Chains A and B, each alone.
Chain A
Amino acid sequence: MSKPKFAMYWAASCGGCEIAVLNIHEKILDVDANFEVVFWPVAMDAKYKDVEAMEDGAILLTLFNGGIRNDENEHMAKLLRKKSQILVAFGSCACEGCIPGLANFSPIQQVVDTAFGTISTDNPNNVRPQTSYEMPEGAIHIPTLLPVLKTLDQVVDVDYYMPGCPPESHQIAAVIDLVIQVLQGKAQLPPKGSVIGAGGSTVCDECPRKRNVKTIKEFGRIQLTEADPELCLLEQGIPCNGPATRSGCGAKCPSAGAQCIGCYGPAEGVVDYGARLIAAFGSVIDADKPEDIERILDGLVDPAGQFYRFNLAGSLLRAAKPAWKSGD
């Protein structure tokens, strides 16, 4: 009997998710023992046309990482959706946009200008990539950027979400174990739309730091503050995204003395990640007069960037107005 087919694809992402998968060490042999890897551009040679030639639903499991930044990403998302029985939005980019999604704060022209026209770019002739170009051999094309980055589920139907930037390797290993058990008939898949490979609570719940329900007179920055290693960072005025962030990482960053930046995405029941943080941060401010509140808030240098670092594309507003206007 032929083995069930497995695919992994990267759209707008950094490649960290692929490394996290390889980082499951010898468990990767179980993947190979139980699956036939048919498409995984970062690990093996396969062409898009090989996927296009497959029957619909031929792939059992596809891990899709990366956001939808251009029409090629969109095409691959739709293609892999058609060819896969189970499509997993794998990692923060596919689930909620992640760092590439921060481009949704700016008009797309400005994103391109920053990439090709700022001082750190060696581009003396100020060249801009063209989406098609006539060569003697014929026209060649590169993908066209979309005005805003989209999450995978804004483009196609998604079966499961696996958050994290990247997902923790032990979580990936647990999910792979589960899928193998399902194949052997020893376990059942969770309901469609579930978040897998993560906890159902918040990072605060896993955080070893002590909370005293204290309020603060000013916000600080972690690199400029001598933070108490035992106490809650937010109650020391350090912007920590733990209260809104899904558990599953084991509160690694706060345990190591750094604030949670929210890579595991919104916790269970959180509709808008940033809104939950606005509520949480507002609650620790110790001031009643508008001018005092404003003074304390001045310590938060980039609130939207703080609250939507990983979540802008997946938030209720999805993109700042100048960004989505740039597509009109």
Chain B
Amino acid sequence: MTDTPETQPFDKAQGESFEPVIIGFTCNWCSYRAADMAGTARMKYAPNVRLIRLMCSGRLDPTFVLKAFAGGADAVLISGCHPGDCHYINQNYKMLRRFHLLKRVLQQMGIEPERLKLLWASAAEGAIFAEEINKFVEQVRPLGPLNWKPGNGAHVEAPVHEEVPA
């Protein structure tokens, strides 16, 4: 994750070729199924997003987002069930409140609000999911790499790779 912006330094002249790295958090019940549907229906969308499945968007600790940015992500996508549709009754509302607060804090840290996106997607909305990711990539591309490196370079330790049975 940290390698991409480091090994491909942003060149204004080559701005068009900059491929943002986006970490996407999806919930198990709606948005991950939407991504799944986009996949099984063979819809094409930008390959920039790396999805991480949580059980619920309410499980999204704001720490995850900060760690993604600190570790080299150019943008973060948070997605969950539509308001009112949460598998866990109302946890997506909790995430919504945190999202608004997080966005304010990120802005104070100098991270453009356009680098954080919230997307509601039901399990049937594979097409919307694909389209929104395309839009998000185009929204982030002109901002250039974030390449977070206060002090002496990236400081988030590389995760220990662990085999997870499917």
Q: Decide yes or no whether A90 CB sits under 8 A from chain B.
A: no
**Which applies to chain A's interface (DSSP): helix, strand, loop or mixed?**
helix
Nearest Cβ in chain A — how far from B38, in angstroms? Answer: 26
- Residues of B within 8 Å of A321, CB to CB, are 109-111, 148
- Residues of B within 8 Å of A271, CB to CB, are 63, 67
Q: Of residues 255 to 285 in A, which have CB atoms within 8 Å of B's CB atoms?
A: 271-272, 274-276, 278-279, 281-283, 285
Our pick among B63, B104, B108, B150 for the contact of A272 (Cβ within 8 Å) is B63
Q: Decide yes or no whether B15 CB sits under 8 A from chain A.
A: no
Q: Decide yes or no whether A148 CB sits under 8 A from chain B.
A: yes
Q: Decide yes or no whether B12 CB sits under 8 A from chain A.
A: no
Say whether B100 contacts A317, CB under 8 Å: no
Question: What class of interface size applies to chain A in its complex with B?
Answer: 35 or more
Say whether A317 contacts B101, CB under 8 Å: no
**Which applies to chain B's interface (DSSP): helix, strand, loop or mixed?**
helix
How many pairs, one residue from A and one from B, have CB atoms within 8 Å of each other in the complex? 105
Our pick among A154, A272, A276, A327 for the contact of B67 (Cβ within 8 Å) is A272
Q: Of residues 281 to 325 in A, which have CB atoms within 8 Å of B's CB atoms?
A: 281-283, 285, 287-288, 290, 293-294, 297, 300, 302-305, 307, 315-325
Output the nearest chain A residue to B100 by Cβ-Cβ distance.
A293
- Residues of B within 8 Å of A293, CB to CB, are 96-97, 100
Output the nearest chain A residue to B112 by Cβ-Cβ distance.
A321
Q: Decide yes or no whether B82 CB sits under 8 A from chain A.
A: no
- Residues of B within 8 Å of A290, CB to CB, are 96, 100
Q: Decide yes or no whether B98 CB sits under 8 A from chain A.
A: yes
Say whether B110 contacts A154, CB under 8 Å: no
- Residues of A within 8 Å of B149, CB to CB, are 324
| Complex: A305 Cα to B61 Cα, angstroms | 20
Say whether B105 contacts A154, CB under 8 Å: no
Q: Decide yes or no whether B93 CB sits under 8 A from chain A.
A: yes
Say whether B101 contacts A316, CB under 8 Å: no
Q: Decide yes or no whether B62 CB sits under 8 A from chain A.
A: yes
Q: Decide yes or no whether A150 CB sits under 8 A from chain B.
A: yes
Say whether A318 contacts B151, CB under 8 Å: yes
- Residues of B within 8 Å of A146, CB to CB, are 151
- Residues of B within 8 Å of A304, CB to CB, are 104-105, 108-109
Say whether A287 contacts B97, CB under 8 Å: yes
Q: Decide yes or no whether A161 CB sits under 8 A from chain B.
A: no
| Complex: A111 Cα to B32 Cα, angstroms | 45
Our pick among B83, B101, B109, B156 for the contact of A281 (Cβ within 8 Å) is B101
| Complex: A318 Cα to B83 Cα, angstroms | 34
- Residues of A within 8 Å of B124, CB to CB, are none
Say whether A278 contacts B150, CB under 8 Å: no
| Complex: A139 Cα to B150 Cα, angstroms | 32
Our pick among A282, A288, A294, A323 for the contact of B98 (Cβ within 8 Å) is A282
Our pick among A285, A305, A316 for the contact of B66 (Cβ within 8 Å) is A316
Q: Decide yes or no whether A160 CB sits under 8 A from chain B.
A: no
Assuming the A-B contacts A272-B63, A304-B105, A320-B108, are A278 and B93 also in contact, with contact meaning beta carbons closer than 8 angstroms in the complex?
Answer: no
Say whether B148 contacts A317, CB under 8 Å: yes
Q: Decide yes or no whether B70 CB sits under 8 A from chain A.
A: yes
Q: Of residues 142 to 183 in A, which have CB atoms within 8 Å of B's CB atoms?
A: 146-148, 150, 154
Say whether A317 contacts B150, CB under 8 Å: yes
- Residues of A within 8 Å of B155, CB to CB, are 154, 318
Nearest Cβ in chain A — how far from B146, in angstroms? Answer: 8
- Residues of A within 8 Å of B105, CB to CB, are 274, 278, 303-304, 307
Residues of B participating in the A interface, judged by any CB pair closer than 8 Å = 61-63, 65-67, 69-70, 83, 93-94, 96-98, 100-102, 104-105, 108-111, 148-151, 155-156
Q: List 30 A-B contacts (CB under 8 A).
A: A147-B151, A154-B151, A272-B63, A272-B67, A275-B62, A275-B63, A275-B65, A275-B102, A276-B61, A276-B63, A278-B102, A287-B97, A297-B101, A297-B104, A300-B101, A303-B101, A303-B104, A304-B109, A316-B66, A316-B69, A317-B66, A317-B69, A317-B148, A317-B150, A318-B151, A319-B150, A319-B151, A320-B109, A320-B110, A324-B151
The 8 closest A-B CB pairs, nearest first, are A321-B110, A282-B98, A324-B150, A304-B108, A275-B62, A275-B63, A282-B97, A319-B150
19 other A-B residue contacts (CB within 8 Å) besides A282-B97, A304-B105: A154-B155, A274-B105, A275-B63, A276-B62, A278-B105, A282-B101, A283-B94, A288-B83, A293-B96, A297-B104, A302-B108, A304-B108, A305-B108, A315-B66, A316-B67, A317-B69, A317-B70, A318-B70, A320-B110
Residues of A participating in the B interface, judged by any CB pair closer than 8 Å = 104-105, 146-148, 150, 154, 271-272, 274-276, 278-279, 281-283, 285, 287-288, 290, 293-294, 297, 300, 302-305, 307, 315-325, 327
